[in-house]
Structure 1
Amino acid sequence: MKIIEEGVKYIEVVEAVEELIRRRGAELAFPVNVAVNSIAAHYTPAPGEKKRFQHGDLVKLDVGAHIDGCIGDTAATVEVGTSSWSGLVEASRQALYRAISFIKAGVSLGELGGVVERVIRSSGFQPIVNLTGHSIDVYKLHGGYSIPNYNNHNPLRVKEGLILAIEPFATNGGGTVASGGNSNIYRYLKTKIGLKPELQQMARSVERLRRGLPFSSRWFVKEIKGSVRDLRRMVSRGVLYSYPILVEEKGGMVSQWEHTIYVKENGVEVLTERTGAD
């Protein structure tokens, strides 16, 4: 991720990645997330945002693309100009690949979470226990399976044919996240009777174009020609869900790695692994 450098604006990186996805013939499954330092997940820049990466930042870039509703979800962590957190970065990366090598049809979710937990704890860090991986369905980013980052003793077993997003989060903090401020990420819920006509039209456009997948305030302003105020009004009426920023409860640094996999009888196929030069 060479584009993430000191002084570069968050929005420049996010929009470059989003444009690359579209140029390659796919669509966004969700806005590109950029989560810095103690922010674990759920942040994308607002329209015109000026925030820049700083020396020493620990940056999680979470990317989702889809073709006809078939979703790939992947994430990686980099440091800006330093290697102060290389152990933390490596803990979540190793946990991801150890989990991938462990998964096959019949493995329980608790056992899988235990693999992630052991790798992270043995590296001297904590897994974030209230963030999970997830199964993926067509046009549905979070399916019916939650993949824990610790052994929660869930006996539910992984089935052949499942699409799973495995995403270990590691921290030097307390091991849980809490809700913070506005992430600039939204999802359509339902149209409400009595909504003003202009908001009703916007809501229908969002429903038609996103089909239940998350979207950003940037996209809403550019494509729907609405405003941030319109978004707030629709959130207050229960038409849209506003995702909160998720922040490590004790202010700890957070790393994340993620791949989407297809479960086979005796292993997996990694669907989001890079296969060639860009």
Structure 2
Amino acid sequence: MKDECNLDQMKKGGIIHYEVNKYINSIIKPNIKLFDLANIIENKINNLTCHNTKNPLECGIAFPTGLSINNCVAHWTPKLGCNRLLLEDDVIKIDYGVHFNGSIIDSAFTFCFNQKYKPLLESSKTSTEIAIKLARPDMLLS
């Protein structure tokens, strides 16, 4: 029974994660402040999970939203008061998580406005899909 509940929570988190991804893609634009973008993402997660401030460990944001730009690979988060903007020529990696009672759904994606980076994004996506397809139990993936 507990495993079914955990699986249901993970499915729910996965659906919300997908909805947040669609939302980000609909609102992201050049010259948005990274601090504002992180807040928009986190507020959307809290709204969709019905985050309860009286019991914050029940559901909501799994970890601070990562907004890594260009050669910063991962895990950069804007600090309070950060005025850095997302520029039209930037490549951004957006990493966020949703949780229900400790069941975390974590995924990231890369986004760019400039079409010259699209082949890079497509080749990375294709490589990841191939690696997932080839993965087997006890297989070294590094």
Q: Specify the SS of the correspondent of 1:41.
A: coil
Select which of 39, 45, 49 maps to 1:15. 39
CA distance in structure 2 between the partners assigned to 1:27 and 1:99 by the alignment? 30
CA RMSD of aligned residues (A): 1.5
Q: Specify the SS of the correspondent of 1:61.
A: strand
Q: Does 1:67 align with 2:105?
A: no
Q: Which residue of 1 aligns with 2:60?
A: 27
Q: Which residue of 2 aligns with 1:83?
A: 115
Higher helix share: 2
- Deviation, structure 1 residue 103: 3.2
Q: Specify the SS of the correspondent of 1:75.
A: strand
TM-score normalised by L of structure 2: 0.70
CA distance in structure 1 between the partners assigned to 2:118 and 2:79 by the alignment? 29
Matches for 1:1-278 after TM superposition, within 5 Å: 1-25=25-49, 26-80=59-113, 82-104=114-136, 106-108=137-139, 110=140, 113=141, 148=142
CA distance in structure 2 between the partners assigned to 1:2 and 1:57 by the alignment? 17
CA distance in structure 2 between the partners assigned to 1:13 and 1:3 by the alignment? 9
CA distance in structure 2 between the partners assigned to 1:66 and 1:79 by the alignment? 27
The runs of 5 or more residues in structure 2 that have no matched partner are: 1-24, 50-58
Q: Which residue of 1 aligns with 2:3?
A: none
- Kept in 2: contact 1:65–1:72 (CA 8 A): yes
Q: Which residue of 2 aligns with 1:132?
A: none
Note the alpha carbon deviations across 1:199-233, whole angstroms, 9 max, x for none: xxxxxxxxxxxxxxxxxxxxxxxxxxxxxxxxxxx
Q: Specify the SS of the correspondent of 2:64.
A: strand
TM-score normalised by L of structure 1: 0.37
Structure (1 or 2) with the larger CA radius of gyration:
1
CA distance in structure 1 between the partners assigned to 2:119 and 2:138 by the alignment? 28
- Kept in 2: contact 1:4–1:53 (CA 8 A): no
- Deviation, structure 1 residue 96: 2.0
- Kept in 2: contact 1:34–1:59 (CA 8 A): yes
Identity of aligned residues (%): 27
Note the alpha carbon deviations across 1:96-143, whole angstroms, 9 max, x for none: 222232334x351x2xx2xxxxxxxxxxxxxxxxxxxxxxxxxxxxxx
Counterpart amino acid of residue 29 in structure 2:
E
Note the alpha carbon deviations across 1:127-165, whole angstroms, 9 max, x for none: xxxxxxxxxxxxxxxxxxxxx3xxxxxxxxxxxxxxxxx
- Kept in 2: contact 1:33–1:62 (CA 8 A): yes
The runs of 5 or more residues in structure 1 that have no matched partner are: 114-147, 149-278
CA distance in structure 2 between the partners assigned to 1:99 and 1:69 by the alignment? 28
Q: Which residue of 2 aligns with 1:144?
A: none
